Structure 1
Amino acid sequence: MSRDQGGRSDAGRPKRTPTGRGPAKGSGPGKPVKGSGPRFAGSTKSSQPTRLPARKPEPQVDVHDPDGVRLQKLLAAAGVGSRRTCENLISAGRVEVDGHVVTELGVRIDPNRQKVHVDGVRVQLDESRVYLAFNKPLGVVSTMNDDLGRVSLADYVGNRPERLFHVGRLDSDTEGLLLLTNDGDLAHRLQHPAYGVPKTYIARIPGPVPRDLGKRLREGVDLDDGPVSVDSFKVVDSQPGKALVEVVLHEGRKHVVRRMLDAVGHPVESLVRVQVGPIRLGDLKSGRTRRLTQDEVGRLYSAAGL
């Protein structure tokens, strides 16, 4: 055996390994594929990752209206924050006009034509728009003009200069939260079941409440004008012979809560609406109104998909 084949004794000389030029002495039959390493089915000749085409930048949209009002001034007037705070929001890219981020402080817009969002929440800039929460008392009918001379909404808000819409209705024997506004588009969406804005009621019913009542109501109850189901149901309080239950649904049919509970053997003794979408009745006294905050209006717009 030669000294090369047996390997030299001096450790400084490495053994030769196969390269792309061909097999080394003593290697097995067959030529190695150029470029070491096994190949897998479906692999390409190049081991470099595939480069995706560069994404084209979105076209710049000019939302500036030279005859409009400075954006930061409108935001401050709408109660978003101080002028300085609103400028910081714009610079940070947190303000959108008509769906486009605005970062320049000199932008002017038309508040009656253009839509503004801050952190994704709609800001109502039109100062002529009114949004009220009203705690409707028992015996008041949900109309602005009653031909029968009954106590109506006009007796509480009829002296206001705006033409107000009531968002949905409450029966005369149902009390609680009713939203009033002159924003017709928002009012339509909030009361239309297609937009799924939930309404929450507290009902007093005869007890005891069976454990499967919530399941039955969620699965649906057949009424004379079609089936109805609740979004959620829970027992708030229970005493001998009576119970308070919370019912959440987005239906707007007449007497729907009363008819549904009556159909399952628990007729309503009293009914109060305590919430519409994100707006809660809270501690608002019966017969009183309050203006919704800018944040509440923004959340109503989000609930209505505007």
Structure 2
Amino acid sequence: MSRMDSSKTHQSRGPTAKRSETKPPRSKPWEGQGESRPHRPKSAPASQEKNPSPFRQSSPDVILLHGFHAVREALRSDQRTCLALYATEAAAEKLAPDSKAAGLAPHIVTAEDLSRRLGSQTVHQGVLLEARPLEPLDITEIPTRSGVVLVLDQITDPHNVGAIVRTAAAFDVDAIVTTERHAPALGGVLAKAASGGLEHVQIVPVVNLARALETLGRLNYLRVGLDSAAEADFTQLPLQRPIALVLGGEGTGLRRLTREKCDFLARLDMPGKIKSLNVSNACAVVLTLIGRI
């Protein structure tokens, strides 16, 4: 380059030229050239980049059990297929003998992980079990130990059904007959409320409850429907076993066809000012009375 050219070049470096050199246009030279962004490896999708979920995806053939007693009894059950156990360090330590016997190594997670999976309001007690649903029982295959069966007519509240299952397990009830529709799922909140009872009571789902009651009648069950408006007092009935105690849904009670298929409709006479009980409490009272026959 000539001296004149060099001088021109030097003179052209004014303030504007300097700003251009010190602050070049923002460019991304790595884009479109097959190169990685400098000092930053190619990142995973946003959903996987931070705190990827340790849990398996939801599936119709996988149920979630939470709560210490529900999970412990499931781990101990010969009828339950357990897939994966997630627990905080403290909960895993408490469940160590049962998880080892079940052949599961717990995945250690935080309480926050469990709350994100189950919902912030869920009382999970630091443990979650992924498992297969229990195999349903046919109504003609109900075993006879106590000679007592519960029939639930569209009881939809999982807390109530869970409490009934827990009570049924305590009284060694042979089975619980329930409708396939208008009934809560046999896991989650229901299993937590049942406090492990779900592993000890046979569940019989039916499509048509009226036909199921007819079948129980042919199997010589005495079918007694509990109805607060009934004329007969439950304690005055000629009770005998086997007996099927029929309980109605919250608010609606027993449906017409259900009532028609019962041998007796009866009420519980309460001595206090409140004459009606929650369905799960009424179930416990009646099972106590049945225990006397």
**Same fold per superposition (TM over 0.5):** no
The structure that has the greater radius of gyration is 1
Q: Using structure 2 for the length normalisation, give the TM-score.
A: 0.24
Structure with greater strand percent = 1
